[in-house]
Amino acid sequence: ESNELAYRVQLVKEQMGTRLFLPGHHYQKDEVIEFADARGDSLQLAQISASQHEAEAIVFCGVHFMAETADILTRDNQKVYLPDMRAGCTMADMANFNQTEKAWERLMAEFSETILPLTYVNSTADIKAFVGKHGGATVTSSNAEKMIKWAFTQKERILFLPDQHLGRNTAYDLGISLDKMAVWDPIKEELVYEGDFDDVKVILWKGHCSVHENFTIANVHQVREENPDMNIIVHPECRREVVELSDKSGSTNYIIQMIDQAPPGSSWAIGTEMNLVKRIINQHPDQHIISLNPNMCPCLTMNRIDLPHLAWSLESIAQGEPTNLIEVEEETAVDAKKALDRMLLRA
């Protein structure tokens, strides 16, 4: 049956040619990513979307916020579709517009105009628009360092949404100590200081990735015990203490590059999403590669895009009755684009 589905996908791709474009995130299943016209991490996919002028239909093989980003960056004739509307992101869902407005009000009262908001691209279009409107920018895990440095040329403090771990890990690497960071809890609506009140430089939104939080210190200790020669490489969405104990940390693209460049016979334990780890293992039979967590850690929402949904979505477009259009409202898109453009200009 999967052969038949693959044939149907291929058929639509051939029929539509360059009128159709399929970007795919590295965390997508093999059965889907094999049809992608371009594959990449979030930064690359944002850049690729921004440069797409020919295709009239972009079918995004990734999660909802990525499809929204593609729509924001392609405001002319292109239409963006997501093969399954349930492909969301638990992290993006941890910051909504009302919560952000409330937090901002409190932070303004405490720090007046000294804060610049930054948001990880893993956020809804509303949050990107809020950030864009207040002079801030988006970041991805590939350029978070560069963007935080830029933010400090604008203001004394930053509010980093919605992933506390990427914010904390990146700020720490830039030499900002943990006692200069505070965490905003959007549920309790309170700011928890880790150090001196006046000196706070980075305010982290209390959000996280439910996939990368599954890599633990216990996993690191177990790998070290069983194989002391193993290099441990993790995504910066992992908790601070896990990144601290690992050998290397970096974005999806960084992880792929490090393993590609490693000599045959080297050993790696990788702390990131399962589909990517499995693919890396298959592509490097000359290396000894495992997942840092033996349970593998899939992203369930990324996995909602599967071959049946892809075939169904493509056929609906080819038949002139497209489903699952992603359309960001104009006013939101204009402000969100400001935040994205500030990043793309510097990426």
| 288 annotated ligand binder | no
Q: For ligand 13P, which is the closer residue by CB, 120 or 150?
A: 120
The answer to whether residue 246 forms part of the interface with ligand 13P (CB under 6 A) is: no
275 binds ligand SF4 (CB under 6 A): no
Question: Pick from ligand 13P, ligand SF4, none: which does 301 bind, CB < 5 to 8 A by kind?
Answer: ligand SF4
DSSP-derived letter for residue 303 is G
Contact region for ligand 13P (CB under 6 A) — 139-147, 173-181, 192-200, 224-232?
A: 139-147
Could you say whether residue 251 binds ligand 13P (CB under 6 A)?
Answer: yes
- Residue 28 as a binder of ligand SF4 (CB under 6 A): the answer is no
Residues 6 or more apart in contact with residue 24 via CB below 8 angstroms: 32, 33, 35, 36, 38, 39, 40, 61, 62
Indicate the residue among 66 and 176 with the shorter CB distance to ligand 13P: 66
Q: Are 67 and 81 in contact (CB under 8 A)?
A: yes
Q: Distance between CA atoms of 305 and 5, rounded to whole angstroms?
A: 14
What are the tokens at 57?
């239909």
Is 234 near ligand SF4 (CB under 6 A)? no
237 known ligand binder? yes
Question: Can residue 42 be called a binding residue for ligand 13P (CB under 6 A)?
Answer: yes
Angle (deg, nearest 10), helices 125-133 and 64-73: 50
Q: Largest Cα–Cα distance of the chain, in whole Å? A: 63
Q: Which is nearer to ligand 13P, 237 or 335 (CB)?
A: 237
Contact 21, 37 (CB under 8 A): yes
Closest among 26, 57, 55, 56 to 41, alpha carbons compared: 26
- Contact call for residues 329 and 242 (beta carbons, < 8 A): no
Please tell me whether 61 is known to bind a ligand. Answer: no
Under the binding rule (CB under 6 A), the answer on residue 273 touching ligand SF4 is yes
- Binding residues (CB under 6 A) for ligand 13P: these are 41-42, 122, 140-142, 209, 237, 251-252
- Binding residues (CB under 6 A) for ligand SF4: these are 27, 63, 89-91, 122, 209-211, 273, 299, 301-302
